[in-house]
A and B are shown apart, each in its own frame.
Chain A
């Protein structure tokens, strides 16, 4: 509740560590390097190569989940509030980030069939549809899902049946809705089952398209997009639509992500040379990167698609996943540092109210139009019937209920009745014509034909009405009405249980927040408290303060030590290089002294000049007039030297 009052809010970052696997356990007695304080939301990382006295690195996050944490805990505490706000019309994004093999997919997807191990995505599906089924019946919902992946800067639609062959999709922008993917398939989902089916189809497409799944998944980003539109009558009597968009993002492995960066940093490669001339454009655009010029190359697709989630209009949760094994120390530290930075990204979430592109509105309009057409038909048939009644063929005294819900039933019934009546009437007329002795045979035939035609028309009209009704029904079935379309199987007790669980999650979240705040305030109060009732107390307080400061000091010392170590290392390296160079130099001198007579040496020395432009020593040409040879490939001692020495 607190966070909703603030205009901008940071990206929520939670960290999860997977248990050691069997292989890692057998690797050594060292155990994990990651320690977690669930109460404080802290991760303590131990450097496996450092001495025991070295203080460990501590990071604080919104929540942390250790090896024993349950999927449910993570969902209830960290994801549920985000889904709730998406249902209320906010944009929400969940990222999974981490080195390949640290449990990103387990966290996002989990084991679908085991309720205990279901990940964020299936739990979110469940959450959305349960919410709809329990909401007021004056709310109408429309749920849509899309699934795409970004691989090598190409956006591919995973729900397109021709996924493999279809060409890459383009990103476009509209003034009303910002960046969107053109021609992206979007499936209307009416139940958990349907949306799960959508997800499965996409997952299969992803697997089929890749030649090497491991390589592929560690380089491609997968985005599952859910749009929940909700229409509800407002106090002004008009229907208001809120659109919540939910992006569930499985990022490529962080070992590569760290290099590309989600925040839109240009790909920073080492000084490697690009061999192919087709990359000339990259070289040139790196030179032309200026403010006043136009550089015709764009940001990465992922950055453009998610620009709202990172510093934009969205609530964002980032789940960073860690591996506890000592050999992953470096990667783990990188992930933690990255996650720590992500905490500082500020978002400005706003409710998307009555956006112009809401599909729900379109659906409602279409339904209204169809209903109007049906009503019109009904009215026409009624009129005709009244005519018929007027002629006194048969009386039919039933009254109409104008209730809109029963419209289609009504119309169908009416239509059937009307057709029956008409048919009867036509039959009778035909009979009458046949029986009419006075009419000429020809005339008889003509009249009969006319009647036949009228029967045909009648049937056609009936068919058209049926089609319209079917269309109307199909349209309406896509809309979900709160508390109606999905039957909620859970009984009251279970509901209560869920409520309680949510409350507990909320509690523990706020407890953690308070703990973190307390920690900060503790320090402040210690500093502030200056009046002491007794010397004893003063000593105690000061000792406490001293201890705290000492711990801080140790931390900083360790940092300094780190930096120092690095310097020492590089100094040692430099020293070593220097030694090598000195040795080589001595060796060269030795050669010169022993193999080259002093006069030869002097001659050579006199010919040497330093070329400052090329930063190297060069020989002056022996004979100045000769065409100067620029490239001296190697200089071999002249054989004459040997003669003179021997």
Chain B
């Protein structure tokens, strides 16, 4: 401090503190009609600081060789430029802001990275990243932020000591920060770099990279203990949904386990004041996490099913054996992956996260026992989620959970070899969905009811097929006993009933069939018609007149599918197989009907 007396220096420090205070605290109370009053005041102060430093530099330059290094002087001047830049950006003067920030870059360009200035190196690039992203120049923003990232990594590798914070440039010695505080601020700046990069990649459409950076952001929040537990947990749980839709179950499971463990931390600090409201919120968020877990289990089961399915939707045992043989390698892979993956957790949470992960596998279940284990975990979360999302008050959510539960049963049934028990699983689905479908107000829950009707129809139809296979196995073919026939007919008509209900829900209040089907119901509606036709032709009856009735109704529905596709050619592509079969049946059924009629006439 050769030419700058300590008094002068103290004045500069005071001005700086003042400017910081104006920017961060006072500005919040600025009136609406003068929203940047405090920021403008802060700007003036910063300008004054800049001038003092500048004049000091000139005099210093003549003397040459003062107390502090030229590098630190440049950094200080750069910091003022940085604050001026941020100030201009905040007050919506972007080009001026950019100029100041670039001045800062220029000043820093003369120095090499050191613990004295690395913080500024990163901050200024963060700000430039924000600035350019705001102008839709995402690539430019990306450039700045990625440089910030590599500067951080390089610094941590080469040096790693707690760097000076920019505010320290303008504090008197007694107010310097502790090492801990320095590290905290520096790391937070880098967390922001990660976070901004996540957004930049998202805007560039690079979802995978974006997810990785979101993941890193979460990880860093946790490590540095800068997070709100519930918010963090919900974010981690949401991120898991990204992973599971990409088939990355290990990462998904890790996110979910961490979410559950961290959300537990939130419950340990209940505040007295808003006790009730807060508890309610905690309950809701935990239920949301449970729902994310349900999706994990469901997707895992469904993906495994897709992998093991043959072309008629049954378990392909060859494929099963093949996959089981490949399993060993996969397990090793998992172990390796687990070591290299981005792991969450601090010392005290690490173990609980890991033990939670062990409760459910992230490899595809290959047989019933493995599938059942996944199913049970999912079912457990169904119970948890339903505790909060009750029917009364959360109709849509509650039903979505029930639909997931039903889907869990459906996926599990695929792995079940015992047909009797498989049938019982489908019965459970019917039992949970049927009462709701009838209770819901048809006006307000049209969409949900349609989904439920369709699912119920399909479930009954599946049960019917199972019963038939069972009966055929036991008895000689063609000779079903009356009890089985009764059961079969019951299931068959129940399925047809729900398909018909679905179709009726598409009609106008006066019961008119719509001439044009909306796009989102086009396929379901035509498929339902096709299925109704099929079901009617399968009903077993000894009375020829009832048979005739059923066949006629069947023909009617097949005809509808064919005719609709004729008048609406664009529909044909959505129901190719069904249309082909319908066309065939429209040709064949009349023959059958005529034969039956002839037989009836002959008998009379």
Residues of A within 8 A of B (CB): 5-8, 167, 172-179, 182, 211-212, 215, 270-275, 277-278, 280-281, 283-288, 290, 292-297, 308, 312-313, 348, 350, 352, 614, 627, 630-631, 633-634
| Contact for B392 among A174, A212, A631, CB less than 8 A | A174
Identify the stretch in B192-200, B344-352, B544-552, B572-580 within 8 Å (CB) of chain A at 4 or more residues: B192-200
Say yes or no: B393 contacts A172, CB within 8 Å. Answer: yes
Q: Is the CB of A294 within 8 A of B395?
A: no
Contact A167 B277 (CB under 8 A): yes
* The one of B200, B202, B446 that contacts A286, using a Cβ cutoff of 8 Å: B202
Q: How far is the CB of A291 from chain B (nearest CB, A)?
A: 8
A290→B512 CA distance, assembly (Å): 35
Cα(A182)–Cα(B280), bound, Å: 15
By beta carbon, the residue of chain A nearest B218 is: A280
- A7 near B202 with CB under 8 A, answer no
* Interface bracket on B: 35 or more
**Min CB–CB distance A478 → chain B (angstroms):** 26
- CB-CB under 8 A for A7 and B509, given A270-B134, A277-B195, A283-B210: yes
In angstroms, Cα B244 to Cα A477, docked, is: 60
A292 and B211 in contact (CB under 8 A), knowing A7-B510, A273-B141?
Answer: no
Tell whether A288 pairs with B147 under 8 Å between CB atoms, given A271-B138, A283-B198, A308-B444. Answer: no
Establish whether residues A176 and B299, one from each chain, have CB atoms under 8 Å apart when the complex forms.
Answer: no
Minimum Cβ distance to chain A for residue B78 (Å): 12
B433 within 8 A of A: no
- B177-202 at interface with A (beta carbon < 8 Å): 191-192, 195-196, 198-200, 202
User: Chain B residues with Cβ under 8 A from A297's Cβ?
Assistant: 238
| B245 on interface, CB distance cutoff 8 Å | yes
| Contact status B445-A284, CB under 8 Å | no
Would A294 and B295 be within 8 Å (CB), given that A271-B203, A631-B151 are in contact? yes
B241 at the interface (CB under 8 A from A): yes
The 8 nearest A-B residue pairs measured at CB? A7-B508, A178-B444, A293-B241, A296-B288, A173-B395, A288-B241, A290-B245, A288-B242
Binds A, one of B43-51, B167-175, B312-320, B435-443: B435-443
Contact of B214 among A7, A287, A348 (CB under 8 A): A287
The smallest C-beta distance from B242 to any residue of chain A, in angstroms, reads 4
Q: Is the CB of B393 within 8 A of A174?
A: yes
Q: Which residues of A contact B366 (CB under 8 A)?
A: none
Asked if A631 and B195 make an inter-chain contact with CB atoms under 8 angstroms apart, the answer reads no
CB distance from B263 to the nearest CB of A (A): 12
Minimum C-beta distance from A197 to chain B (A): 31
Of B6-14, B66-74, B229-237, B586-594, the segment with at least 4 beta carbons within 8 Å of chain A is: B229-237
Query: A634 and B109: CB pair below 8 A?
Result: yes
Known contacts A286-B202, A287-B214; decide if A294 and B129 are in contact (CB<8 Å): no
Contact (Cβ within 8 A) B242 A293: yes
Additional A-B contact list (19), CB under 8 Å, known A7-B508, A271-B138, A292-B298: A5-B510, A174-B395, A175-B391, A175-B441, A178-B441, A273-B129, A274-B199, A280-B217, A280-B218, A283-B202, A287-B214, A293-B244, A294-B295, A295-B241, A296-B238, A296-B292, A312-B444, A350-B443, A352-B443
Per the bound structure, the CA–CA distance linking A627 and B146 in Å amounts to 19
Question: Which residues of the partner chain A approach B154 to less than 8 Å between Cβ atoms?
Answer: 630-631
Residues of chain A within 8 A of B245, CB atoms compared: 288, 290, 292-293
| Residues of chain A with a CB closer than 8 A to B445's CB | 175, 178
Contact A287 B130 (CB under 8 A): no
Assess whether A273 is in contact with B134, with CB atoms less than 8 Å apart. yes
> Could you tell me if B133 and A177 are in contact, using CB atoms closer than 8 angstroms?
no
Q: A273-B129, A280-B214, A631-B147 are in contact. Are A294 and B241 (CB under 8 A)?
A: yes
Residue numbers in A under 8 Å from B138 (CB-CB): 271
CA gap between A176 and B146 in the complex, in Å: 54
B221 touches A277 (CB 8 A): yes
CA–CA, A614 to B277, complex, Å?
50
CB-CB under 8 A from B158, the residues of chain A are 627
Measured in the bound complex, the distance between the Cα atoms of B134 and A135 in whole Å is: 61
Whether B396 sits at the interface, judged by CB under 8 Å, is: yes
Q: Which chain A residue shows the least CB distance to B274?
A: A167
Task: Give complex CA distance A288, B133 in Å.
Answer: 22
What would be 25 A-B contacts, judged by CB atoms less than 8 Å apart? A174-B393, A175-B392, A175-B441, A177-B441, A177-B444, A178-B395, A178-B443, A178-B444, A273-B141, A273-B199, A281-B235, A283-B202, A287-B214, A290-B242, A292-B244, A292-B298, A293-B292, A294-B291, A294-B292, A296-B289, A313-B444, A348-B446, A348-B509, A633-B109, A634-B106
- How many Å lie between the Cα of A295 and that of B392 in the bound state? 22
> Do B136 and A271 touch across chains, with their CB atoms under 8 A apart?
yes
Bound state CA distance, A265 and B394, in angstroms? 22
B484 within 8 Å of A (CB atoms): no
Contacts of B446 in A (CB 8 A): 312, 348
Is B136 in contact with A281, judged by CB distance below 8 angstroms? no
CA A172 to CA B86, docked complex, whole Å: 43
| Interface presence of B55 (CB below 8 A) | no
Q: B150 contacts the other chain (Cβ, under 8 Å)?
A: yes
B441 adjacent to A176 (CB under 8 Å): yes
B105 at interface, CB cutoff 8 A: yes
How far does the Cβ of B392 sit from chain A's closest Cβ, in whole Å? 7
Q: Which residue of A lies closest to B191 (CB)?
A: A277
A287's partner among B141, B202, B443, B507 (CB-CB below 8 A) is B202
* Cα distance A281–B436 in the bound complex, in angstroms: 33
A277 B295 Cβ-Cβ under 8 A: no
B294 at the interface (CB under 8 A from A): yes
CB distance from B306 to the nearest CB of A (A): 12
B239 within 8 A of A: yes
CB distance from A1 to the nearest CB of B (A): 15
Please measure, in the bound complex, the distance between the C-alpha atom of A293 and the C-alpha atom of B395, giving whole angstroms.
19
Binary per-residue interface labels of chain B (496-529) against chain A in the complex, 1 for a CB within 8 Å, 0 otherwise: 0000000000011110100000000000000000
Least CB distance from A424 to B in Å reads: 57
Q: CB within 8 A of A296: which of B141, B291, B508? A: B291
User: For residue A288, which residues in chain B have a CB less than 8 angstroms away from its CB?
Assistant: 238-239, 241-242, 245
Question: Inside 8 A of A348's CB, which chain B residues have their CB?
Answer: 446, 508-509
Nearest-neighbor residue (CB-CB) of B299 within chain A: A292
- Chain A nearest CB, measured from B479 CB (Å): 45
Cα-based distance from A275 to B129 in the complex (angstroms)? 11
**A349: shortest Cβ distance to chain B, in Å?**
8
Question: What 0/1 readout, one digit per residue, does chain B (275-296) give for beta carbons within 8 Å of chain A?
Answer: 0010000000100110110110
Chain B residues with CB under 8 Å of A292's CB are 244-245, 295, 298-299, 302
Residue in A175, A288, A294 whose Cβ sees the most chain B Cβ within 10 Å: A294
State A429–B295 Cα separation when bound (angstroms).
Answer: 84
With CB as the reference atom, state the residue of chain A lying closest to B197. Answer: A273
Given contacts A284-B238, A290-B245, contact A175 B440 (CB under 8 A): yes
B360 to nearest A CB, angstroms? 17
The one of A8, A286, A630 that contacts B508, using a Cβ cutoff of 8 Å: A8
Separation of A366 and B195 alpha carbons in the complex (Å): 60
Residue B108 CB within 8 A of the other chain: yes
Would you call B63 an interface residue if the criterion is a C-beta within 8 Å of the partner chain's C-beta atoms? no
Is B570 an interface residue, CB under 8 A from the partner?
Answer: no
Interchain nearest-CB distance for B452 vs A (Å): 12
* Docked CA distance A286–B239 (Å): 10
- Chain B min CB distance to A504 (Å): 30
Q: Determine if B21 is an interface residue (Cβ-Cβ < 8 Å).
A: no
In the bound complex, residues from chain B placing their C-beta under 8 Å from that of A178 are: 395, 441, 443-445
**In the assembled complex, B207 has its CB within 8 A of some CB on chain A:** yes
Q: Which residues of B contact A614 (CB under 8 A)?
A: 146
Q: Identify the closest chain B residue to A91 (Cβ).
A: B443
| B476 on interface, CB distance cutoff 8 Å | no
**Also in contact, A7 and B210, with CB within 8 A (given A174-B392, A271-B133, A280-B195):** no
Contacts of B196 on A, CB cut-off 8 Å? 273
Interchain CA distance A439-B346 in the complex, whole Å? 96
Q: Which residues of A contact B105 (CB under 8 A)?
A: 633
* Residue in B231, B302, B508 whose CB lies within 8 Å of A281: B231
Q: Which of B122-148 contact A (CB under 8 A)?
A: 129-130, 133-134, 136, 138, 141, 146-147
* B199 A293 Cβ-Cβ under 8 A: no
